[in-house]
Amino acid sequence: MRIADRYARTQPSEMIKIFQATENMKEVLNLGIGEPDFDTEHDIIDAAAAAGKNGFTHYPPTQGYLDVREAVCDYWKRHHSLESAPDEVLLTAGGLNVPYLAIQALFNPGDEIILIEPYFTQYAAQASACGATLLQIETKEENGFVPLASDLEKAITPRTRALILNSPCNPTGRVISRERMEEIAVIAQRHDLIVLSDEIYESMVHKGVHVPFASLPGMKERTLTMGGMSKSHCMTGWRMGYVIGPKELIKIMTVISACQTYGVNTMTQKASAYALYNHDAKLVERKNIFAERMDYVAGRLNKMKRVTCANAEGAFYLFPNIKGTLLSSSDFVWKMLENAGVAAIPGTAFGKSGEGYIRIACTRSMDVLIKAMDKMEEFCSAL
Ligand code: PLP
C-alpha cells in the first residue's frame, strides 16, 4: 500500500524498539518507562464515576468545560504564580496533543523550529510531518544540557519562528535556571520567537522552584505553556493535557482540535478538576519519593566503573555518562539488556547529543532500583 510521503520513512524510534524487546520479558528490571509507577488515586477515579452518573456523558465543549479550565488557572496560580484566564486555556487529549495543535496552527512548510538536544522525540516527528524545518541545537553535560545563549543566537535565521523548551527535561532530568531562562527570553524577544514551553514535569522540581517561562517579563504573549495530568497526578492513561497561551492562538487551536478529537473525555475532565484542587499534598509526597530514588541511583552510578552521573534537579530521569565504557549508547543498552536484564533507553533516542549517555527512569520501587543497580554494577565491572 502506498503511504503518504511525509510518513513513508517513519520507523519505530530507538525507545519503541526497547519497549518492544522488553514487552514479553518476565525477568527484566525495566528502567526505561517514562511514567510514574503509582496508580491514579481512587478518589480521582470516584470523581470520574460521579461525573458519569451525574450526566456528564455527552459531547463536551471543544475548548473544555469552563470549570475545568478554571481549575487549571487556579492550579498554576497557586503553585507557580502564573496568572491566566479560562479563555487562555485549551484542554487537550494528552499533553502531547499540544505541540501538534500548536505546530499545525503556527507554521508553514519551511518555517524553522529550534529544538534543544537531547529532546523528547515526538516533537521532531510532529514538526517534520507539517513540513517545518528543525534546527537542532546540541548541548553539553557541563552546561547542564542547556544551550548557551550564543549557540541559540548563532542558529537563528530569518525563517526561525519558534523555540521548544522542556524544563524539567525528559530525558536529562535537568532544570533550566531562572538566569538561563532570562537569557533565552531576551533572544525570544529580539527574534520575535514563539516559545512552546513543555512544563509537564512542573510538579517535580527537587531543587529550587519551577519557573514557568511565561512568567518572565514580556514572555506571556509569546509563550504556550504545556501541562497535563499524566505525570503530576499519575493519570497517563486518562489522556488529559492542556495548554495556556494567548487567547487568539487558543481560539485557532480549539478549531483544529475540534476537527481532530472533538474535545476531551468528559469524565476525565471532571476528575482532573477534582485532582487539581485536592491533591497538592500527594504531589509533594511523590516528588520526595522520586527525589530519594534519584539520589540513590545517582549515588550508585557514580560508584560504578566507567560511569558518571550528574545530579538531576527534576522529573524522574537520570542521564548518566557511559563514555568511559567505549561503547555507543545503543550498544551499551542492548548489551546491558541481554547480559544483565536491565532496560534503559539509549541517549541517542533523544538526538545526537545523547551519544555517550543513557536515560534511566526512576519509576520503579526502591527494591527494583537496588536490584537493577547491583546488576548494572556487575555489568559495568565486567566490560
Ligand atoms: N512531554 C514530555 C517531555 C514527556 O516526557 C511526555 C511523556 O513522556 C509528554 C510530553 C506526553 O505527555 P502526555 O501523557 O500528557 O501526552
Atom of ligand 1 nearest to the CA of 315: 5
* Sequence-ordered list of residues with C-beta below 8 angstroms from that of 104, at least 6 positions apart, any chain: 130, 256
Whether 264 and 257 have beta carbons less than 8 Å apart is answered as no
Q: Last residue of a domain, which of 253, 278, 303? A: 278
User: 371: helix, coil or strand?
Assistant: helix
Domain that holds residue 65: 55-278
In this predicted structure, what is the pLDDT of residue 260? 92
CATH code of residue 297 = 3.90.1150.10
Residue ID of nearest Cα to ligand 1 atom 15: 95
Contact 257, 92 (CB under 8 A): yes
Quote the pLDDT of residue 155.
Answer: 95
Residues 229 and 342 in one domain: no
Are 82 and 102 in a shared domain? yes
Residue 338 placed within a domain: yes
Q: What's the pLDDT tens digit per position in 13-28?
A: 888 888 888 988 888 9
For residue 46, tell me if it sits in a domain: no
- Confidence bin at 6 (pLDDT 50/70/90): confident
The three cell numbers locating residue 243 = 495548554
* Same domain assignment for residues 274 and 143: yes
* Structural domains in the chain (count): 2
Cell of 262: 472533538
Q: Which of 98, 117, 119, 120 to probe ligand 1 with, by most ligand atoms within 8 A of CB?
A: 120
Residue nearest to atom 11 of ligand 1 (CA): 96
Please give the mean pLDDT across all residues of the chain.
Answer: 95
State whether 205 and 300 are in the same domain.
no
- Residues 184, 323 within the same domain: no
Query: Has residue 374 got a pLDDT over 80?
Result: yes
For 55-94, write each residue's pLDDT tens digit: 999 999 999 999 999 999 999 999 999 999 999 999 999 9
* Residue listed under C-alpha cell 527494591: 367
The three cell numbers locating residue 116: 534543544
* Residue that terminates a domain, selected from 234, 257, 278: 278
- 113: nearest Cα among 94, 97, 132: 132
Mean pLDDT of 143-163: 94
Residues 298 and 303: their CA atoms lie apart, in Å, by 9
Peptide bond into 109 cis (omega under 30): no
pLDDT at 361: 98
CA distance 62 to 254: 7
